[in-house]
């Protein structure tokens, strides 16, 4: 059996500091994605940020944009580094700064310097689908994301928000876990998701909770 070289986890961003290194369109894309998460601070360092990057940085007070080459001092105090250039020497240099400090690094298309891999993402409310090839076939992961994205409609976003709301309102115990699984496996609830029938989803959740209380 093949042993995978990476273990899939999601990284908690709340209260943490992200360093983005590298300009161009890839840098813009990574900043745009980063802004969708609850980072406390985002530092972006690049000598050639795009006009769109500058606009994004100006629109969010969490972002600090530095139009220059990255320096070793930039990695101090950060929790994750994402590099988005084709400069192999830059990836090596960042790895030499990050690894002694145990700061995870993703260096674009430079597997030898990666501690974490960038994933193709589908975000639907609280639902997050992450597709990874462990850095081996990122173009295929991106294609699979596009195929799945077409099939996952807005009903999943609304279902996720309603389920999260119901889960927070219930005591944390085994009964809650069992209830959430039962709702997710209810074909009538799944039909409401497909139809994006929000009221129908609410009714199915409320009915399941009331039956649990009986």
Q: Is residue 127 part of a domain?
A: no
Range of the domain at 197: 154-213
* Mean pLDDT taken over the chain: 92
Q: How far apart are CA 161 and CA 113, in angstroms?
A: 37
CB 86 within 8 A of CB 74: no
Task: Give the CATH number for residue 43.
Answer: 3.40.50.720
Place of tokens 């320096």: 71
Is 4 inside a domain boundary?
no
Q: How many domains are there within the chain?
A: 2
Q: Are residues 106 and 164 in the same domain?
A: no
Domain annotation covers residue 56: yes
In this predicted structure, what is the pLDDT of residue 214? Answer: 58
CA-CA distance, 115 to 119, in Å (whole number)? Answer: 13
Distance CA(33)–CA(54), nearest Å, equals: 15
Domain boundary among 118, 144, 168: 118
Are 33 and 99 found together in one domain? yes
Check residue 64 and give its pLDDT: 98
Is residue 144 domain-resident? Answer: no
12 part of a folded domain:
no
Domain membership of residue 1 (yes or no) is no
Query: Which tens digits make up the pLDDT trace of 55-70?
Result: 999 999 999 999 999 9
DSSP 206: H
The burial of 1, by beta-carbon neighbours within 10 Å (0-12 exposed, 13-18 middle, 19 or more buried), is given as: exposed
One pLDDT digit (tens) per residue for the chain, 214 residues = 778 888 888 899 999 999 999 989 999 999 999 999 999 999 999 999 999 999 999 999 999 999 999 999 999 999 999 999 999 999 999 999 999 999 999 999 999 999 998 888 888 888 888 888 877 888 888 898 888 888 888 999 999 999 999 999 999 999 899 999 999 999 999 999 999 999 999 999 999 988 876 5
DSSP state string for 67-108:
-S---GGGGTT-SEEEE-SS-HHHHHHHHHHHGGGT--EEET
């Amino acid at each position: 059996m093949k042993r995978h070289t990476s273990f899939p986890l999601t990284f908690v961003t709340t209260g943490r500091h992200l360093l983005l290194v590298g300009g161009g369109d890839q840098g813009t894309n990574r900043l745009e994605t980063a802004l969708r998460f609850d980072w406390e601070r985002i530092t972006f360092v690049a000598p050639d940020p795009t006009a769109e990057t500058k606009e994004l940085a100006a629109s969010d007070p969490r972002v600090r944009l530095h139009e220059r080459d990255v320096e070793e001092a930039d990695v101090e105090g950060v929790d994750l580094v994402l590099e988005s250039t084709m400069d192999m020497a830059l990836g090596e240099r960042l790895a030499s700064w990050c690894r002694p400090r145990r700061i995870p690094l993703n260096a674009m298309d430079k597997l030898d310097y990666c501690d974490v891999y960038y994933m193709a993402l589908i975000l639907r409310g609280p639902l997050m689908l992450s597709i990874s090839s462990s850095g081996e076939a990122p173009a295929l992961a991106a294609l699979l994301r596009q195929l799945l994205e077409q099939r996952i409609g807005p009903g999943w976003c609304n279902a996720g928000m309603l389920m999260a709301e119901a889960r927070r309102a219930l005591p944390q115990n085994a009964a809650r876990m069992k209830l959430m699984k039962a709702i997710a496996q209810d074909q009538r609830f799944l039909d409401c998701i497909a139809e994006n029938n929000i009221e129908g989803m609410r009714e199915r959740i409320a009915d399941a909770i009331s039956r649990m209380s009986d």
